[in-house]
Amino acid sequence: MTEEQEQEQIKDFGSKFDLHPGIPEGTKHSFNAGDMADEAGMRAFIECYRPLIKGLDDKVAATYFAGAFGNIALAVQYALTVASAVPVVSLQRLSVHLIPADGYWRAAFSLGEWSFEPAPAEAGQRREWRNEQLIRFYRDTAAPMLSMLSRVTGLSGGEIWGQLPTKFNYYLEVFTSGGLPERLLNTLQDDYRYLCEEIPAEIFGLKKNPFRVQVRKLESLADPDKTVNMRNRCCLYYRTEGGSYCYTCPRLKEEERAVRRTEFRKPASAGQA
C-alpha cells in the first residue's frame, strides 16, 4: 500500500466508521482507551458519559458505548476484507471522543499513530493472516476494554458484546446488496463466518461467541412489504430520561409492535383518504 493509498484509507475510516487520524472537530471530552481498560479510567469515562446521554444508570452508558465501539470492530472487519490491510488498533493508540451532535452526544474515535498490517501476497496465506488479525484485535483491544466496562457498570458481558452483532448484520446486508464482485462477496461472507463460528468464546472473555446469533426479521414500521432486523440485545434507551422501548427492541411484545405500526401509519392513511 502506497502512502497515498494509506491516506485515502484513513479518510475512508473517518467517513464510514468515525475513526479519525486526529481529535475530531467539536470534541468536548477525550479519553485514552488504554486508561479505560483500567478501573479508574473507565469510571472516569462513565461518570462523564452517563449524564451527557441522560442515562438513569451506568448500564445505559455501557450499552451506548458498546454500540459506538462496534464501529471500530466493524472498521477492522471491513479493512480485512475490502482493503486487505488492517489498521493496528491497540489500546494505547486508540482514543475516545465525546461530541455534541444535534441534541445528542456521539462517541467518536481516533488513532494517535497509524500503521497497517497488509495481507500476504500469497493467497494461500491469507486465511492464517485473517485469523491472526481478528483474534489479536478482540483479545488484546476489544476484550480488555469491554470486560472493564462490564465490571464498572455491572452490565453483563453478554449484554455489552450483544450490542455489536446488530450493527454487523445490518452492514453485512448493506455490503452484500451493493453489487459486490462475486469473489469479494465470497470473501466477505467467509471472513464474517470465521468471526461468528470459529473464534473461541474465551477470546471475548465469554462462554459463548457473541457474534453467533440468529437474525430475526420484523415487519417494517412504515412499510408492510419490507422487513427490518430485530436488535440482538436491548440498547436500554428506555433507561434514559424520557426514553422508551425501540420498535426493534427484543423486549417489546409483538402486540405492542403491532400497535406502533398502526399508529405510525395512521397519518399516511388519513392523508391518502
So what's the pLDDT on residue 273? Answer: 44
Task: Return all residues near 69 (Cβ < 8 A) that are at least 6 apart.
Answer: 107, 142, 145, 146, 164
So what's the pLDDT on residue 177? Answer: 79
Q: CA-CA distance, 20 to 100, in Å (whole number)? A: 17
Q: For the chain, how many helices (H) and strands (E)?
A: 10, 8
Mean pLDDT by 10 residues, the chain (273 residues): 81 94 97 98 98 97 98 96 94 98 94 94 93 98 98 98 95 81 90 96 97 95 94 97 96 96 77 48
Contact status, residue 203 vs residue 211, Cβ threshold 8 Å? no
So what's the pLDDT on residue 182? Answer: 86
- Sketch the domain layout of the chain as residue ranges: 3-165
Distance of CA 28 to the CA centre of its chain: 22
This prediction's pTM? 0.93
Residue count (the chain):
273
DSSP 172-185: HHHHHTS---HHHH
Distances 180 to 2, 34, 65, 69, 115 between C-alpha atoms, Å? 24, 37, 31, 26, 27
